[in-house]
Every structure is written in C-alpha cells, then in structure tokens.
Amino acid sequence: MNSLGFVGLWMFLIVLKNFVLNTGGMSLYAETKMASFDFNTVPVKEKALYTPPLEEVVDVLSRGLRKTFESVSVTAEECPDLRKAPFDLTTPGLNGDAKLVELGGPPYLVPTVQRDKVYDLAELLRHLGRDPALLAGAGAGPWPFIGVNCEGIVNLAVREGVVAQGSHIVSVHPVGAAKGRSGYLQQRLPTNETRSALLGNYLLSEGKPGKVIKVEVKKRIGPSNFITAIRESLLEHYGDKVIGMGGAFVLREGKVKHHVMPDFSPTPLCTDSDVDTWLHYFEMRAPIMHLGTLVTGDMGMDLRLQHFHGYSQHGDGGHYHYDTTPAEVHYEGYFTLAGAVLRIDPPAVTHALGRD
C-alpha cells in the first residue's frame, strides 16, 4: 500500500472508531471526545518500597546533600498547609497510604506517539478504590483538551467522589512556533478535565497533614540537580533497599532550565539527540513550584527514576532539568516516603530514551 493509501485507511479507522464511541453522533472534533484508557484491561503491578524511619532519612540527606549544596537543612516536621501559595496544592498535606504511581511510559511518546494512550486520572483513582485521594506529579498533559501535546502538572484531589482540580498544563506558544522563536503558555485545567496522556509519575496519597521530610538548600556547589542530589544521597546509603518519595518543592531564588514539549513529532524520534532537538528549552524564574516523584531503583518495573514538573503564578512552567544560577539557588521541598510503587500500563517494548 502506498503511504497516501495508508493515511487514508488510518483516517477512516479513526473516524469509524469515533463514530462507534460517540453514540451521541459525530463530533466535528472527534478526537477531543476520544474515549480514555480502560484500566480494567491491564493489571496493577505493586511492589513494596523500603520505608526507613524519617529521622534516619533526615540524617542521610543532611550528610549527602552537602556535596551538592553549601547550605543544607533537612528536618522531619509537620507538613505546612500546602494549599497555601506558592504550593497551591489541592490537599493540605502529602500523607496517608502514600504510593508512587507510574502510568504508561516514554515509549508511548517516542519514537512515535500512541494517541490512544489517554488516561482519565479521576477514573484511575476510582479504579484503585482511593477516596479521599491526592494525585500529584509530572506527566504528559491531556493533548485532546488543547489539540496539541503539552506538559502536565497534575494536582488533583478526590473527596467523597468530588474532584478538586488544581492541575496545569504548559504548551509551546504559539502552536507550531519554531524552536528558538517560541514561548510557552500555562493554563489551569477545568474541573471536568481530569485526563492526562502517554506517561506520568505521580504521588498517590490521602493528602493528609502529618510528618514529612523538609529539605531546604541554598547555593549549589556540585553538578547534580536538586532531585538527583536527593536520589543519589539515598541510593548511596540504602543501596539495594529501594526508597521512593513524592512531593513538592519550590525554587525560591534563582532560575531553572525547563523543557516544554512541542506538538508530537511528525517524524520518529530515534535517539536522545533527536528528542533533545525536538524539545523546546526555556529558563524559568522563581518562585516556581514543582510536583513529582523519585525512586532509587528500577525494581524490574521499567520505572522512571525521577520526574518533576513545575508551575507558577507568573506563568512559567514545564519539565524541570536543573538550575542555571548555582550561586543564587534556594530550594525548599516537602517529601513523603512512599510504601509501594504501582506500575500501570507499562509499555510492552521499552527503551531508555527520553528519561532525562
């Protein structure tokens, strides 16, 4: 079949699929009404994480982070009310049966996008029987909502079946702008838009107050980014005992390098360098808040070891890489230890691309 014939057949199948799905009739923008993933079709794989006493983790991080930051203060303390700015979380805290959730994976994005991987996160919480629940972290945004690929900063709570939505998306703006000449647009998602897509790393908990690990550091003197420094300090001490944490950190001073994904690449992205060329990078300003997860080992579950996305009241936001102003940086983070990892809809065929 020639390529035009193939595209024609593909479009016919999409139209047919949407016609079947939208019994209410054909939508002009059929894709925006696309059915989301059915969680009943895949198992939820769960593995326990090692959860040492908080005071021990405090000691490990207090010592380990000195390699990377000149000023280090790590404490176990009562979580401040994270509903307040700059965090603007949908729940007061991070605690209560905390687990890490990894949904999908980078192989659904590269080399070629799999557009059917649209996940309704409120549906996921129902599927997991979690209510009250907080789901917070970094993923691909719901592209059907704006019609193009985007970053998702998920900050979603459910209580007695009612959704509290604090999630944001960030997309390249204007749509289709060339790298180097583009900007970005942050938007808050409406309450009924609880979808994400392709891949995501989330903290799942009851969002309750309680003791968390507070990490406050200033002035970077080592090569690692804030999250890598935390993860490597834990790895160095705990080795094969895998630790996972999720939470929020704010960059109070300085600047950070983020990427924002443009729309899906029309050509396959086959190497990390292809991915790097495709992504749009920006320097973003404090104060900027980040949500996400880290884990010190893969556990044979094809896990992404760290993943944080940021948003702010001034409109900056995207995927966190590292800070660009080591002398000025000031980070303040709140993290909870996760008791387990849930792996949902992992790609059958995987690779190591696009995990930075």
Residues with Cβ within 8 Å of residue 329, at least 6 apart in sequence: 217, 218, 219, 220, 226, 251, 253, 254, 323
CB of 156 vs ligand NAG, minimal distance in Å? 13
Residues with Cβ within 8 Å of residue 241, at least 6 apart in sequence: 50, 52
Q: What stretches of the chain show up as alpha helix (H) in DSSP?
A: 3-21, 54-64, 121-127, 143-146, 226-238, 272-278
Site string for ligand NAG, 179-218 (x = CB under 6 A): -----------x-xx-------------------------
Ranked by CB distance to ligand NAG, the top (closest) residue is: 192
Measured from the CB atom, the residue of 193 and 316 that comes closer to ligand NAG is: 193
Residue 59 CA to residue 217 CA, distance in Å, equals 15
CB of 8 vs ligand NAG, minimal distance in Å? 28
Measured from the CB atom, the residue of 23 and 192 that comes closer to ligand NAG is: 192
- CA-wise closest residue to 44 among 305, 301, 350, 300: 301
CB of 138 vs ligand NAG, minimal distance in Å? 21
Sign of CA dihedral 82, 144, 171, 220: positive
CB of 145 vs ligand NAG, minimal distance in Å? 7
CB of 30 vs ligand NAG, minimal distance in Å? 13
- Contact criterion met (CB below 8 Å) for 134 and 89: yes
CB of 291 vs ligand NAG, minimal distance in Å? 22
Measured from the CB atom, the residue of 64 and 139 that comes closer to ligand NAG is: 139
Measured from the CB atom, the residue of 72 and 118 that comes closer to ligand NAG is: 118
Measured from the CB atom, the residue of 110 and 122 that comes closer to ligand NAG is: 122
Residue 79 CA to residue 214 CA, distance in Å, equals 8
Measured from the CB atom, the residue of 167 and 205 that comes closer to ligand NAG is: 167
Measured from the CB atom, the residue of 53 and 147 that comes closer to ligand NAG is: 147
- Contact criterion met (CB below 8 Å) for 280 and 179: yes
Cβ atoms within 10 A of the Cβ of 215, count? 26
The site for ligand NAG, by CB under 6 A, has a size of 3
The H-or-E segment that residue 85 falls in is none
Residues with Cβ within 8 Å of residue 276, at least 6 apart in sequence: none
Q: Does 34 bind ligand NAG (CB under 6 A)?
A: no
CB of 252 vs ligand NAG, minimal distance in Å? 35
- CA-wise closest residue to 202 among 172, 167, 231, 254: 167
Q: Please report, as ranges, the residues that interact with ligand NAG according to CB under 6 A.
A: 190, 192-193
